[in-house]
């Protein structure tokens, strides 16, 4: 029984790590998408603005 609770705890810890990883990954994807979008709209946005967006991520 103790083994079971230990493994459950470990699983939940791993899930938390995974969730954090997914969150970070999604942030990265959003960041990349933003950068790509900005490159496509280079005529509309200033270079300074684009740089600040990339730094925020």
Query: For residue 4, which of 12, 57, 55 has the smallest C-alpha distance?
Result: 12
How long, in residues, is the chain?
Answer: 57
**Nearest-angstrom CA–CA distance, 50 and 39:** 8
Residues 52, 31 contacting (CB under 8 angstroms): no
Domain range annotation of the chain? 20-57
> 1-51: per-residue pLDDT in tens?
556 666 888 888 988 998 888 888 888 888 777 776 666 665 555 555 555
Q: What is the pLDDT of residue 42?
A: 57
The separation between the first and the last C-alpha atoms of the chain, rounded to the nearest angstrom, is: 45
Degrees (nearest 5) of the Cα angle 6, 8, 23?
125
Q: Determine if the pTM surpasses 0.75.
A: no
């Amino acid at each position: 029984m103790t083994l079971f609770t230990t493994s459950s705890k470990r699983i939940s810890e791993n899930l938390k790590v995974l969730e954090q990883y997914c969150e970070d990954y999604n942030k990265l994807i959003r960041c990349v998408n933003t950068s790509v979008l900005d490159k496509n709209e280079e005529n509309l946005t200033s270079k300074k603005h684009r740089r600040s967006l990339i730094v925020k991520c």
